[in-house]
């Protein structure tokens, strides 16, 4: 199931990154090196791949633990809280590095969270 969730997220990322030309913030930054601004990778910003993979991995673990231990509500809160903090930290650092706009990492995080919550739910 984990491979399916990662495969779903990866397929959606690859499809959108190759078909949607959204430039990274660093492409507009005059102080960034020209080589970095002009490379082909500078225009596949939508959606954020790193936050989506982080969300997929972390939310999958939280979902599986929640399903195996349905009576441990405190554990659920701790798991999902840790997942949210980790995903947010990844997204924040990607925005600060000039690799993505905030909306791009938000969409990536949402897609990652949805794919890994839905895959185990469909197998239930």
Query: In this structure, are residues 31 and 9 in contact, taking their beta carbons and an 8 Å threshold?
Result: no
Summarised one tens digit per residue, pLDDT across range 39-95 is: 666 666 677 778 888 888 888 888 888 888 988 888 889 998 998 899 899 899 988
Say what the pLDDT of residue 60 is: 87
Greatest Cα pair distance in the chain: 55
What DSSP character marks residue 44? B
Q: Is the pLDDT of residue 17 over 90?
A: no
More confident residue, 47 or 3: 3
Q: Are 16 and 26 in contact (CB under 8 A)?
A: no
Q: How far is CA 15 from CA 1, 94, 101, 102, 104, in A?
A: 21, 20, 19, 20, 15
Q: Which of 15-19, 87-91, 94-98 has the lowest mean pLDDT?
A: 15-19
Q: What is the pLDDT of residue 89?
A: 92
CA atoms of 4 and 45, how far apart (whole Å) = 24
pLDDT at position 43 is 67
Q: Which two tokens stand for residue 69?
A: 């231990």
Tell me the mean pLDDT in the region 11-32: 74
């Amino acid at each position: 199931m984990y491979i399916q969730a990662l495969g779903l997220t990866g397929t959606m990322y690859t499809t959108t990154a190759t078909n949607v030309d959204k430039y990274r913030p660093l492409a507009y930054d005059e102080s960034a090196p020209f080589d970095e601004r002009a490379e082909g990778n500078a225009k596949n910003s939508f959606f954020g791949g790193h936050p989506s993979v982080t969300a997929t991995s972390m939310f999958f673990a939280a979902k599986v633990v929640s399903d195996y231990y349905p009576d441990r509500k405190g554990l659920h809160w701790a798991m999902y809280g840790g997942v949210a903090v980790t995903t947010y930290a990844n997204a924040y650092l990607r925005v600060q590095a000039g690799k993505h706009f905030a909306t791009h990492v938000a969409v990536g995080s949402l897609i990652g969270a949805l794919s890994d919550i839905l895959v185990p739910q469909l197998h239930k």
